[in-house]
Amino acid sequence: MAKLVFIRHGQSEWNLSNQFTGWIDVDLSAEGVKQAQNAGKLLKETGIQFDQAYTSVLTRAIKTLHYALEECGQLWIPEMKTWRLNERHYGALQGLNKAETAEKYGAEQVHIWRRSYDTLPPLLKATDAGSAAQDRRYSQLDPRAIPGGENLKVTLERVIPFWEDHIAPDLIAGKNVIIAAHGNSLRALTKYIENISDDDIMNLEMATGQPVVYDLDQQLQVINKTKLD
- Which of 9, 71, 89, 182 is catalytic? The answer is 9
Could you tell me the sign of the dihedral formed by the alpha carbons of 162, 165, 166, 172, in that order?
positive
Judge whether 87 counts as a catalytic residue.
yes
Judge whether 9 counts as a catalytic residue.
yes
- Which of 31, 70, 87, 108 is catalytic? The answer is 87
Q: Which of 12, 5, 2 is nearest to 54 (CA)?
A: 5
Q: Give the integer Cα–Cα distance in Å for 84 and 124.
A: 19
Q: Give the integer Cα–Cα distance in Å for 88 and 103.
A: 23
Q: Which of 20, 9, 118, 149 is nearest to 65 (CA)?
A: 9
Q: Give the integer Cα–Cα distance in Å for 91 and 93.
A: 5
Q: Which of 4, 40, 28, 3 is nearest to 210 (CA)?
A: 40
Active site residues: 9, 87
